[in-house]
Structure 1
Protein backbone atom coordinates (compact mmCIF):
# COMPACT_ATOMS: atom_id res chain seq x y z
CA UNK A 1 0.00 0.00 0.00
CA UNK A 2 2.82 2.35 0.93
CA UNK A 3 4.49 1.74 -2.43
CA UNK A 4 1.22 2.47 -4.25
CA UNK A 5 0.86 5.77 -2.39
CA UNK A 6 4.46 6.74 -3.17
CA UNK A 7 3.92 5.89 -6.84
CA UNK A 8 0.73 7.95 -6.95
CA UNK A 9 2.49 10.92 -5.38
CA UNK A 10 5.32 10.66 -7.89
CA UNK A 11 2.87 10.52 -10.81
CA UNK A 12 0.90 13.50 -9.53
CA UNK A 13 4.11 15.43 -8.89
CA UNK A 14 5.25 14.70 -12.43
CA UNK A 15 1.97 15.93 -13.90
CA UNK A 16 2.04 19.07 -11.79
CA UNK A 17 5.64 19.76 -12.82
CA UNK A 18 4.75 19.29 -16.48
CA UNK A 19 1.84 21.70 -16.17
CA UNK A 20 4.00 24.23 -14.40
CA UNK A 21 6.65 24.04 -17.12
CA UNK A 22 3.95 24.47 -19.78
CA UNK A 23 2.48 27.48 -18.02
CA UNK A 24 5.89 29.06 -17.49
CA UNK A 25 6.81 28.52 -21.11
CA UNK A 26 3.54 29.95 -22.41
CA UNK A 27 3.82 32.98 -20.13
CA UNK A 28 7.35 33.64 -21.36
CA UNK A 29 6.29 33.27 -24.99
CA UNK A 30 3.48 35.81 -24.52
CA UNK A 31 5.85 38.21 -22.77
CA UNK A 32 8.22 38.06 -25.72
CA UNK A 33 5.37 38.54 -28.18
CA UNK A 34 4.01 41.54 -26.30
CA UNK A 35 7.52 43.02 -26.31
CA UNK A 36 7.52 42.77 -30.14
CA UNK A 37 10.10 39.99 -30.02
CA UNK A 38 8.01 37.94 -32.40
CA UNK A 39 10.72 35.62 -33.64
CA UNK A 40 11.79 34.81 -30.09
CA UNK A 41 8.17 34.19 -29.13
CA UNK A 42 7.71 31.83 -32.07
CA UNK A 43 10.87 29.95 -31.12
CA UNK A 44 9.53 29.58 -27.58
CA UNK A 45 6.19 28.26 -28.84
CA UNK A 46 8.06 25.78 -31.03
CA UNK A 47 10.05 24.51 -28.05
CA UNK A 48 6.87 24.17 -26.01
CA UNK A 49 5.16 22.29 -28.86
CA UNK A 50 8.00 19.77 -28.92
CA UNK A 51 8.01 19.40 -25.13
CA UNK A 52 4.21 19.16 -24.87
CA UNK A 53 3.11 17.00 -27.82
CA UNK A 54 -0.52 16.82 -26.67
CA UNK A 55 -1.02 20.59 -26.37
CA UNK A 56 -2.54 22.34 -29.40
CA UNK A 57 -2.10 25.92 -28.20
CA UNK A 58 1.62 26.34 -29.04
CA UNK A 59 0.99 25.22 -32.63
CA UNK A 60 -2.03 27.53 -32.81
CA UNK A 61 0.04 30.56 -31.83
CA UNK A 62 2.82 29.71 -34.29
CA UNK A 63 0.13 29.70 -36.98
CA UNK A 64 -1.29 33.00 -35.72
CA UNK A 65 2.10 34.71 -35.61
CA UNK A 66 2.78 33.73 -39.22
CA UNK A 67 -0.70 34.78 -40.29
CA UNK A 68 -0.34 38.19 -38.65
CA UNK A 69 3.09 38.72 -40.23
CA UNK A 70 1.60 37.98 -43.64
CA UNK A 71 -1.15 40.60 -43.81
CA UNK A 72 1.03 43.33 -45.33
CA UNK A 73 3.69 41.14 -46.90
CA UNK A 74 4.31 42.01 -50.56
CA UNK A 75 7.00 39.46 -51.33
CA UNK A 76 5.29 36.27 -52.46
CA UNK A 77 8.23 34.04 -51.50
CA UNK A 78 8.24 35.38 -47.94
CA UNK A 79 4.45 35.18 -47.77
CA UNK A 80 4.47 31.57 -48.94
CA UNK A 81 7.14 30.62 -46.41
CA UNK A 82 5.15 32.20 -43.57
CA UNK A 83 1.79 30.78 -44.58
CA UNK A 84 3.24 27.34 -45.26
CA UNK A 85 4.59 27.39 -41.70
CA UNK A 86 1.22 28.55 -40.39
CA UNK A 87 -0.50 25.73 -42.28
CA UNK A 88 2.00 23.16 -41.06
CA UNK A 89 1.30 24.01 -37.43
CA UNK A 90 -2.45 24.29 -37.95
CA UNK A 91 -2.43 20.80 -39.43
CA UNK A 92 -0.54 19.54 -36.38
CA UNK A 93 -2.88 21.32 -33.98
CA UNK A 94 -5.92 19.82 -35.70
CA UNK A 95 -4.58 16.31 -35.10
CA UNK A 96 -4.37 17.16 -31.40
CA UNK A 97 -7.79 18.83 -31.08
CA UNK A 98 -10.57 17.84 -33.46
CA UNK A 99 -13.71 19.93 -34.04
CA UNK A 100 -12.05 22.98 -32.48
CA UNK A 101 -13.75 26.26 -33.41
CA UNK A 102 -10.63 28.29 -32.68
CA UNK A 103 -8.56 26.25 -35.11
CA UNK A 104 -11.21 26.57 -37.81
CA UNK A 105 -11.22 30.34 -37.35
CA UNK A 106 -7.43 30.46 -37.64
CA UNK A 107 -7.60 28.31 -40.78
CA UNK A 108 -10.03 30.85 -42.20
CA UNK A 109 -7.57 33.61 -41.35
CA UNK A 110 -4.72 31.85 -43.15
CA UNK A 111 -6.83 31.33 -46.26
CA UNK A 112 -7.86 34.99 -46.07
CA UNK A 113 -4.18 35.94 -46.04
CA UNK A 114 -3.86 34.32 -49.45
CA UNK A 115 -6.95 36.07 -50.80
CA UNK A 116 -5.79 39.43 -49.43
CA UNK A 117 -2.44 38.96 -51.15
CA UNK A 118 -3.90 38.10 -54.56
CA UNK A 119 -7.66 37.95 -54.81
CA UNK A 120 -7.64 37.19 -58.53
CA UNK A 121 -5.49 34.10 -58.02
CA UNK A 122 -6.73 32.82 -54.66
CA UNK A 123 -10.27 34.17 -54.36
CA UNK A 124 -11.92 31.37 -56.31
CA UNK A 125 -9.79 28.76 -54.54
CA UNK A 126 -10.46 29.83 -50.96
CA UNK A 127 -13.57 32.05 -50.77
CA UNK A 128 -16.02 29.19 -50.41
CA UNK A 129 -13.79 27.35 -47.97
CA UNK A 130 -13.44 30.43 -45.75
CA UNK A 131 -17.22 30.88 -45.51
CA UNK A 132 -17.63 27.18 -44.71
CA UNK A 133 -14.95 27.28 -42.00
CA UNK A 134 -16.57 30.17 -40.17
CA UNK A 135 -20.02 28.61 -40.49
CA UNK A 136 -18.73 25.34 -39.06
CA UNK A 137 -16.91 27.18 -36.25
CA UNK A 138 -20.18 28.85 -35.25
CA UNK A 139 -21.97 25.51 -35.46
CA UNK A 140 -19.41 24.02 -33.08
CA UNK A 141 -19.40 26.99 -30.72
CA UNK A 142 -22.23 29.48 -31.21
CA UNK A 143 -20.90 31.70 -28.41
CA UNK A 144 -17.41 32.04 -29.87
CA UNK A 145 -16.90 35.75 -30.61
CA UNK A 146 -14.02 35.22 -33.05
CA UNK A 147 -16.10 32.88 -35.18
CA UNK A 148 -18.99 35.37 -35.23
CA UNK A 149 -16.78 38.38 -35.93
CA UNK A 150 -14.62 36.76 -38.60
CA UNK A 151 -17.67 35.41 -40.41
CA UNK A 152 -19.26 38.88 -40.40
CA UNK A 153 -16.01 40.59 -41.39
CA UNK A 154 -15.44 38.17 -44.27
CA UNK A 155 -19.03 38.58 -45.47
CA UNK A 156 -18.66 42.35 -45.28
CA UNK A 157 -15.48 42.28 -47.33
CA UNK A 158 -17.14 40.07 -49.93
CA UNK A 159 -20.18 42.37 -50.11
CA UNK A 160 -17.92 45.40 -50.52
CA UNK A 161 -15.97 43.65 -53.29
CA UNK A 162 -19.15 42.93 -55.22
CA UNK A 163 -20.66 46.38 -54.59
CA UNK A 164 -23.37 45.10 -52.25
CA UNK A 165 -24.82 46.64 -49.08
CA UNK A 166 -22.60 46.02 -46.06
CA UNK A 167 -25.07 47.31 -43.44
CA UNK A 168 -26.38 43.85 -42.41
CA UNK A 169 -22.86 42.71 -41.68
CA UNK A 170 -22.16 45.80 -39.59
CA UNK A 171 -25.00 44.62 -37.35
CA UNK A 172 -23.46 41.15 -37.22
CA UNK A 173 -20.14 42.65 -36.11
CA UNK A 174 -21.95 44.62 -33.41
CA UNK A 175 -23.55 41.37 -32.25
CA UNK A 176 -20.12 39.75 -32.06
CA UNK A 177 -18.98 42.45 -29.63
CA UNK A 178 -21.71 41.33 -27.24
CA UNK A 179 -20.19 37.85 -27.41
CA UNK A 180 -16.74 39.28 -26.73
CA UNK A 181 -18.12 41.03 -23.65
CA UNK A 182 -19.35 37.77 -22.13
CA UNK A 183 -16.66 35.42 -23.42
CA UNK A 184 -14.33 33.79 -20.91
CA UNK A 185 -11.37 31.80 -22.26
CA UNK A 186 -10.82 28.37 -20.77
CA UNK A 187 -7.40 29.47 -19.45
CA UNK A 188 -5.19 32.56 -19.64
CA UNK A 189 -3.46 30.91 -22.60
CA UNK A 190 -6.52 30.21 -24.74
CA UNK A 191 -7.41 32.57 -27.63
CA UNK A 192 -8.96 35.83 -26.50
CA UNK A 193 -8.28 38.20 -29.39
CA UNK A 194 -10.53 40.13 -31.77
CA UNK A 195 -12.59 42.59 -29.75
CA UNK A 196 -10.50 45.67 -30.59
CA UNK A 197 -10.64 44.86 -34.29
CA UNK A 198 -14.41 44.30 -34.11
CA UNK A 199 -14.86 47.67 -32.40
CA UNK A 200 -12.74 49.27 -35.11
CA UNK A 201 -14.92 47.76 -37.84
CA UNK A 202 -18.09 49.01 -36.09
CA UNK A 203 -16.57 52.50 -35.90
CA UNK A 204 -15.79 52.35 -39.62
CA UNK A 205 -19.38 51.31 -40.30
CA UNK A 206 -20.60 54.51 -38.62
CA UNK A 207 -18.32 56.85 -40.55
Structure 2
Protein backbone atom coordinates (compact mmCIF):
# COMPACT_ATOMS: atom_id res chain seq x y z
CA UNK A 1 0.00 0.00 0.00
CA UNK A 2 1.28 3.45 -0.93
CA UNK A 3 2.59 5.29 2.15
CA UNK A 4 0.35 8.31 1.50
CA UNK A 5 -2.70 6.07 1.10
CA UNK A 6 -1.79 4.25 4.30
CA UNK A 7 -1.55 7.56 6.17
CA UNK A 8 -4.91 8.66 4.75
CA UNK A 9 -6.54 5.38 5.86
CA UNK A 10 -5.06 5.74 9.35
CA UNK A 11 -6.38 9.31 9.55
CA UNK A 12 -9.88 8.22 8.45
CA UNK A 13 -9.94 5.36 10.96
CA UNK A 14 -8.77 7.76 13.68
CA UNK A 15 -11.51 10.25 12.81
CA UNK A 16 -14.21 7.57 12.74
CA UNK A 17 -12.94 6.12 16.02
CA UNK A 18 -13.01 9.52 17.69
CA UNK A 19 -16.55 10.13 16.39
CA UNK A 20 -17.74 6.77 17.68
CA UNK A 21 -16.08 7.46 21.03
CA UNK A 22 -17.73 10.88 21.19
CA UNK A 23 -21.09 9.38 20.33
CA UNK A 24 -20.62 6.69 22.96
CA UNK A 25 -19.73 9.32 25.54
CA UNK A 26 -22.83 11.30 24.55
CA UNK A 27 -25.04 8.24 24.93
CA UNK A 28 -23.48 7.31 28.26
CA UNK A 29 -23.93 10.84 29.54
CA UNK A 30 -27.54 11.05 28.38
CA UNK A 31 -28.34 7.66 29.92
CA UNK A 32 -26.81 8.79 33.22
CA UNK A 33 -28.75 12.06 33.16
CA UNK A 34 -32.04 10.21 32.61
CA UNK A 35 -31.14 7.76 35.36
CA UNK A 36 -30.63 10.65 37.80
CA UNK A 37 -33.85 12.32 36.67
CA UNK A 38 -35.85 9.13 37.14
CA UNK A 39 -34.33 8.77 40.63
CA UNK A 40 -35.79 12.22 41.42
CA UNK A 41 -32.31 13.76 41.50
CA UNK A 42 -33.43 16.59 39.26
CA UNK A 43 -30.66 19.05 40.05
CA UNK A 44 -28.00 16.41 39.43
CA UNK A 45 -29.68 15.47 36.15
CA UNK A 46 -29.79 19.11 35.09
CA UNK A 47 -26.09 19.50 35.90
CA UNK A 48 -25.34 16.38 33.83
CA UNK A 49 -27.30 17.73 30.85
CA UNK A 50 -25.37 20.99 31.15
CA UNK A 51 -22.05 19.15 31.06
CA UNK A 52 -23.18 17.18 28.01
CA UNK A 53 -24.34 20.39 26.31
CA UNK A 54 -20.86 21.88 26.75
CA UNK A 55 -19.11 18.71 25.60
CA UNK A 56 -21.44 18.16 22.61
CA UNK A 57 -22.07 21.64 21.14
CA UNK A 58 -23.83 20.29 18.03
CA UNK A 59 -26.46 18.31 19.96
CA UNK A 60 -29.80 19.99 20.69
CA UNK A 61 -31.20 17.34 23.04
CA UNK A 62 -29.28 18.29 26.21
CA UNK A 63 -30.43 21.91 25.77
CA UNK A 64 -34.00 20.70 25.29
CA UNK A 65 -33.99 18.74 28.55
CA UNK A 66 -32.43 21.59 30.55
CA UNK A 67 -35.30 23.75 29.30
CA UNK A 68 -37.86 21.06 30.13
CA UNK A 69 -36.53 20.55 33.66
CA UNK A 70 -36.77 24.27 34.37
CA UNK A 71 -40.23 24.43 32.84
CA UNK A 72 -41.43 21.55 35.02
CA UNK A 73 -39.87 23.08 38.14
CA UNK A 74 -41.82 26.28 37.59
CA UNK A 75 -45.34 24.81 37.52
CA UNK A 76 -45.87 25.08 41.29
CA UNK A 77 -43.41 27.88 41.98
CA UNK A 78 -44.96 30.82 43.84
CA UNK A 79 -41.85 32.99 44.21
CA UNK A 80 -41.66 35.19 41.12
CA UNK A 81 -37.89 35.71 41.48
CA UNK A 82 -37.28 31.96 41.50
CA UNK A 83 -39.79 31.44 38.70
CA UNK A 84 -38.14 34.09 36.53
CA UNK A 85 -34.69 32.54 37.05
CA UNK A 86 -36.02 29.12 36.05
CA UNK A 87 -37.92 30.29 32.99
CA UNK A 88 -35.13 32.61 31.86
CA UNK A 89 -32.79 29.62 32.00
CA UNK A 90 -35.29 27.50 30.09
CA UNK A 91 -35.55 30.21 27.44
CA UNK A 92 -31.77 30.49 27.17
CA UNK A 93 -31.42 26.79 26.42
CA UNK A 94 -34.35 26.73 24.00
CA UNK A 95 -32.72 29.57 22.09
CA UNK A 96 -29.44 27.62 22.02
CA UNK A 97 -31.18 24.46 20.84
CA UNK A 98 -32.95 26.30 18.02
CA UNK A 99 -29.58 27.47 16.65
CA UNK A 100 -28.66 23.77 16.32
CA UNK A 101 -31.98 22.46 15.01
CA UNK A 102 -34.20 24.93 13.16
CA UNK A 103 -37.86 24.21 12.38
CA UNK A 104 -37.94 21.51 15.04
CA UNK A 105 -41.51 20.82 16.21
CA UNK A 106 -40.32 19.44 19.56
CA UNK A 107 -38.48 22.67 20.34
CA UNK A 108 -41.47 24.76 19.29
CA UNK A 109 -43.70 22.76 21.65
CA UNK A 110 -41.19 23.30 24.46
CA UNK A 111 -41.15 27.02 23.71
CA UNK A 112 -44.96 27.04 23.94
CA UNK A 113 -44.73 25.16 27.25
CA UNK A 114 -42.37 27.74 28.74
CA UNK A 115 -44.65 30.62 27.72
CA UNK A 116 -47.59 28.67 29.16
CA UNK A 117 -45.70 28.51 32.47
CA UNK A 118 -45.84 32.29 32.56
CA UNK A 119 -49.56 32.30 31.80
CA UNK A 120 -50.19 29.67 34.49
CA UNK A 121 -48.33 31.82 37.01
CA UNK A 122 -50.25 35.03 36.24
CA UNK A 123 -52.98 34.69 33.63
CA UNK A 124 -54.09 38.32 33.84
CA UNK A 125 -50.60 39.65 33.09
CA UNK A 126 -49.14 37.01 30.81
CA UNK A 127 -52.28 35.73 29.09
CA UNK A 128 -52.53 38.98 27.16
CA UNK A 129 -48.79 39.02 26.51
CA UNK A 130 -48.25 35.43 25.38
CA UNK A 131 -51.67 33.92 24.55
CA UNK A 132 -51.63 34.67 20.83
CA UNK A 133 -47.95 33.68 20.57
CA UNK A 134 -48.61 30.26 22.13
CA UNK A 135 -51.46 29.63 19.68
CA UNK A 136 -49.17 30.67 16.83
CA UNK A 137 -46.38 28.35 18.02
CA UNK A 138 -48.67 25.32 18.10
CA UNK A 139 -50.00 26.17 14.64
CA UNK A 140 -46.42 26.32 13.33
CA UNK A 141 -45.49 23.04 15.03
CA UNK A 142 -48.55 21.38 13.48
CA UNK A 143 -47.47 22.56 10.03
CA UNK A 144 -44.04 21.04 10.59
CA UNK A 145 -45.13 17.73 12.10
CA UNK A 146 -48.86 17.01 12.17
CA UNK A 147 -48.28 13.41 13.33
CA UNK A 148 -46.29 14.37 16.42
CA UNK A 149 -48.47 13.50 19.44
CA UNK A 150 -46.97 16.24 21.63
CA UNK A 151 -47.85 18.81 18.99
CA UNK A 152 -51.46 17.61 18.65
CA UNK A 153 -51.92 17.20 22.39
CA UNK A 154 -50.26 20.50 23.36
CA UNK A 155 -52.29 22.44 20.82
CA UNK A 156 -55.54 20.85 22.01
CA UNK A 157 -54.78 21.27 25.72
CA UNK A 158 -53.91 24.94 25.24
CA UNK A 159 -57.10 25.54 23.23
CA UNK A 160 -59.12 23.66 25.85
CA UNK A 161 -57.71 25.84 28.64
CA UNK A 162 -58.58 28.96 26.68
CA UNK A 163 -62.11 27.65 26.03
CA UNK A 164 -62.62 26.95 29.74
CA UNK A 165 -61.38 30.43 30.63
CA UNK A 166 -63.88 32.03 28.26
CA UNK A 167 -66.60 29.50 29.21
CA UNK A 168 -66.78 27.99 25.76
CA UNK A 169 -67.49 24.40 24.70
CA UNK A 170 -64.44 22.14 25.19
CA UNK A 171 -65.90 19.07 23.42
CA UNK A 172 -64.06 19.64 20.10
CA UNK A 173 -60.74 19.68 21.95
CA UNK A 174 -61.58 16.47 23.79
CA UNK A 175 -61.74 14.81 20.37
CA UNK A 176 -58.32 16.22 19.53
CA UNK A 177 -56.94 14.87 22.81
CA UNK A 178 -58.27 11.43 21.83
CA UNK A 179 -56.58 11.79 18.44
CA UNK A 180 -53.30 12.61 20.16
CA UNK A 181 -53.53 9.42 22.25
CA UNK A 182 -53.84 7.41 19.04
CA UNK A 183 -50.70 9.12 17.79
CA UNK A 184 -48.90 8.40 21.08
CA UNK A 185 -49.79 4.71 20.64
CA UNK A 186 -47.93 4.50 17.35
CA UNK A 187 -45.21 7.13 17.87
CA UNK A 188 -41.61 5.96 17.60
CA UNK A 189 -38.96 8.44 18.79
CA UNK A 190 -35.89 8.92 16.60
CA UNK A 191 -33.71 7.52 19.39
CA UNK A 192 -34.10 6.47 23.02
CA UNK A 193 -33.02 10.00 23.98
CA UNK A 194 -35.50 11.90 21.82
CA UNK A 195 -38.69 13.30 23.40
CA UNK A 196 -41.25 10.61 24.17
CA UNK A 197 -43.35 12.16 26.93
CA UNK A 198 -46.97 13.26 27.17
CA UNK A 199 -49.09 10.13 26.81
CA UNK A 200 -50.01 9.81 30.50
CA UNK A 201 -50.94 13.48 30.69
CA UNK A 202 -53.08 13.14 27.55
CA UNK A 203 -54.88 10.17 29.11
CA UNK A 204 -55.55 12.19 32.27
CA UNK A 205 -57.01 15.07 30.26
CA UNK A 206 -59.08 12.64 28.19
CA UNK A 207 -60.44 11.08 31.36
CA UNK A 208 -61.46 14.49 32.70
CA UNK A 209 -63.39 15.05 29.45
CA UNK A 210 -65.59 12.06 30.30
CA UNK A 211 -66.30 13.02 33.90
TM-score by length of 1: 0.99
What does residue 180 of structure 1 align with? 184
The equivalent position to 1:159 in structure 2, one of 159, 163, 168, is: 163
The equivalent position to 1:127 in structure 2, one of 127, 131, 136, is: 131
Greater than 3 Å deviation, 4+ residue runs: none
Kindly indicate whether residue 67 of structure 2 is the aligned counterpart of residue 63 of structure 1: yes
What does residue 51 of structure 2 align with? 47
**Deviation of the 1:85 alpha carbon:** 0.3
Give distance in 1, aligned partners of 2:59 and 2:149. Answer: 22
TM-score by length of 2: 0.98
- Structure 1 or 2, whichever has the larger Rg, is 2
Counterparts of residues 139-158 of structure 1 (less than 5 Å):
139-158=143-162
What does residue 34 of structure 1 align with? 38
**Deviation of the 1:2 alpha carbon:** 1.0
The equivalent position to 2:120 in structure 1, one of 116, 119, 122, is: 116
Give distance in 1, aligned partners of 2:110 and 2:100. Answer: 15
The equivalent position to 2:10 in structure 1, one of 3, 6, 9, is: 6
What does residue 88 of structure 1 align with? 92
Q: Give the length in aligned residue pairs.
A: 207
Give distance in 2, aligned partners of 1:54 and 1:2. Answer: 31
Gaps of 5+ in 2: none
1:49-80 deviation digits (Å, cap 9, x = unpaired): 00000000000000000000001111101100
Kindly indicate whether residue 27 of structure 2 is the aligned counterpart of residue 23 of structure 1: yes
1:7-64 deviation digits (Å, cap 9, x = unpaired): 1110100000000000000000000000000000000000000000000000000000
1:121-155 deviation digits (Å, cap 9, x = unpaired): 00011000001101100100111000000000000
Quote the RMSD (CA, aligned, Å).
Answer: 0.4
**Deviation of the 1:4 alpha carbon:** 1.1
**Deviation of the 1:189 alpha carbon:** 0.3
Question: For 1:111, what is the secondary structure of its paired residue?
Answer: helix
